[in-house]
Amino acid sequence: MAANAQGVAEAPFVWHPATAAEAWQLKQTLGTEGVYTAGGTLLRTQWEAGLAAMPNHLINVGEIEELHGIHIDCESGTGTLGAMITLSDLRTSPLVHASFPLLTEAARSIAAPSIRNLATIGGNVLSLVGDSLPALLIYDPVLHWHDGSNGLQESLSEWLSTAAVHAAWRERLLIAIELTQPALDSNTKRFVAYHKVGRRDAFTPSVVTAALSVQLDSDNRLSDVRLALGGGQTIPHRLELVEQFLTGKIANKKTITEVYALVVEHYEPKGDAFVPVSYRKKAAANLIASELWKAVR
Amino acid sequence: MKDSMKPLSRLETSSIPCTLNGQEISLNVPPAKRLLHILRDDLEMTGTKRSCDIGRCGACMVMVDGVPVNSCLTMAYQCSGKSITTIEGVSAGGMDPIQRAFLEEGGFQCGYCTPGMIISVKALLDHNPDPTPPEIEEALSGNICRCTGYGGIKRAVQKAIEWRREAYESESVHD
């Protein structure tokens, strides 16, 4: 079998199913011998790092039409992103920018253009720790899977909460991600922010990735608060307790001081040898506090 | 088995058609083989450089259908039906103005990262002839230089933008 200088095999079979049903059937037949592949950028990194062995079979899902396309209905404020949409598509789509601006900013901050031209939103989501996830979580995302039957829909939040321990989803094929824009009440404005803090701008797991969306009235009273945190090996999630605390409060120095302490207390990131948990908590709290401050300035 | 589900395997010998620097070719290689190794080892086109192997440094940058991609991350089957441009293709008609700008502005020292830099700049300027400084930084964010620094590279990009603009204006006057 051919191998590169690092000894990574380069001769798996590559299958090219034309439909989601065919891809799913192949996966059932091949079992752990077969791996779905889209852009392949994360898989390649894992193979090179020895974190995963190159499988005997790759199931290329890139030719499945139903996985492609950005469909946004500006009137209803809903949209669907095909799992094969590249991060470059997200970065440059004016439709995405108009309806889901945090996704544009998230895409800008992931890797570099050359990788974004290959890497897909589906792959970023299925990594469980991709930096698109905090941004997606702001938009009430629903995952659409092909599971061999009539399809399965599942909230991204729910899936993330169990995906690391329950591996059954690996048998399914992610088709698309459905999003809903937050509605804007009259006499209010919406403030959104996405931030990634890391030891480098890109190409290294972030210390904290934060996404925030709040609605403010003329008194700076907060409503429809949405706050998601992730970064590094932390599986991103909404901070519902903090969201509830902020809802109905006037964003002022006292509130921002209190929310800082609340984030430090309740956010539970994963630490590593470079950045301990305590630092990540403070970095996250600082990001949230500073963005709220910007929102009311 | 349906034709669409027929695997491209290492046993197949002539199945990946693509265009390389304007020439139609067929890649007779394992389908998951990296484009980087196909270019350097099989086709002996060594202008594309090998370095990190994981898409971090940009030394192996090529254009596929006009956009930059890391050839160390691109598998052979992903090139099927695509148009690939390497640094050899950029200079096929003589030195490209971007290459000349790198020479004149000292945009290199050891030169190992330069082919990848040139490819990224060409992809940027072909798509956006008058980029802003943040757009230039974003376009080059996947290319790392570890000896000369980025001052000369930024000057080279600005010079290439000027030359291309002058060439365009000159053509417009003559039309």
| Closest among A68, A168, A71 to A121, alpha carbons compared | A68
Tokens describing residue B13:
């010998």
pLDDT bin (cut points 50, 70, 90) of residue A3 is very low
What is the distance in angstroms between the Cα of B76 and the nearest Cα belonging to chain A? 10
Query: Residue A297: what pLDDT?
Result: 81
Q: Is 70 exceeded by the pLDDT of residue A5?
A: no
The mean predicted confidence, pLDDT, of chain A is 93
The three-state secondary structure class of A204 is coil
Query: Is residue A1 included in any domain, yes or no?
Result: no
* Domain limit, last residue, from B90, B106, B132: B90
Complex ipTM value: 0.92
Tokens describing residue B2:
């349906």
pLDDT average, residue stretch A81-110? 97
B141 lies within 8 A of chain A by CB: yes
B72 lies within 8 A of chain A by CB: yes
Of B7, B74, B138, which has the smallest distance from its Cβ to A15's Cβ?
Answer: B7
Rg (chain A; Cα; Å): 20
Of A45, A49, A60, which has the smallest distance from its Cβ to B77's Cβ?
Answer: A60
Distance CA B44, CA A79 (A): 46
* Domain limit, last residue, from A162, A180, A198: A180
* Domain limit, last residue, from B41, B60, B90: B90
Of A14, A45, A114, which has the smallest distance from its Cβ to B77's Cβ?
Answer: A14
B48 lies within 8 A of chain A by CB: no
Tokens describing residue A54:
């190159």
Tokens describing residue A218:
């003329």
Query: Residue A2: what pLDDT?
Result: 40
Q: Please tell me whether residues B105 and B84 are part of one structural domain.
A: no
Judge contact between B125 and B164, C-beta under 8 A. Answer: yes
Query: Is residue A130 included in any domain, yes or no?
Result: yes
Judge contact between A227 and A211, C-beta under 8 A. Answer: yes
Judge contact between A36 and A79, C-beta under 8 A. Answer: no
Distance CA B35, CA B49 (A): 12
Which residues on chain B are in Cβ contact (under 8 Å) with A54? 32
Query: Residue B6: what pLDDT?
Result: 58
B61 lies within 8 A of chain A by CB: yes
Return the minimum-mean-pLDDT range out of A57-71, A245-259, B161-175.
B161-175
Q: Is 60 exceeded by the pLDDT of residue B36?
A: yes
* Domain limit, last residue, from A134, A154, A180: A180
Pairing outcome for strands A34-37 and A57-60: parallel
Q: If you measure CA to CA, which chain A residue comes closest to B8? A: A14
pLDDT digits (tens, 9 = 90+) for B40-95: 999 999 999 999 999 999 999 999 999 999 999 999 999 999 999 999 999 998 99
Query: Is residue B3 included in any domain, yes or no?
Result: no
Query: Residue A167: what pLDDT?
Result: 85
Q: Please tell me whether residues B109 and B169 are part of one structural domain.
A: yes
Judge contact between B18 and B82, C-beta under 8 A. Answer: yes
* Domain limit, last residue, from B90, B118, B141: B90
Q: Please tell me whether residues B167 and B126 are part of one structural domain.
A: yes
Query: Residue B10: what pLDDT?
Result: 45
Domain that holds residue A40: 13-60
Query: Into how many domains does chain B fold?
Result: 2
Which residues on chain B are in Cβ contact (under 8 Å) with A58? 31-32
Query: Is residue A8 included in any domain, yes or no?
Result: no
Eight-class DSSP state of A110: S
Q: Please tell me whether residues B40 and B86 are part of one structural domain.
A: yes
CATH of the domain at B125: 1.10.150.120
Q: Is 70 exceeded by the pLDDT of residue A1?
A: no
B58 lies within 8 A of chain A by CB: yes
Query: Is residue A7 included in any domain, yes or no?
Result: no
Q: Please tell me whether residues B85 and B106 are part of one structural domain.
A: no
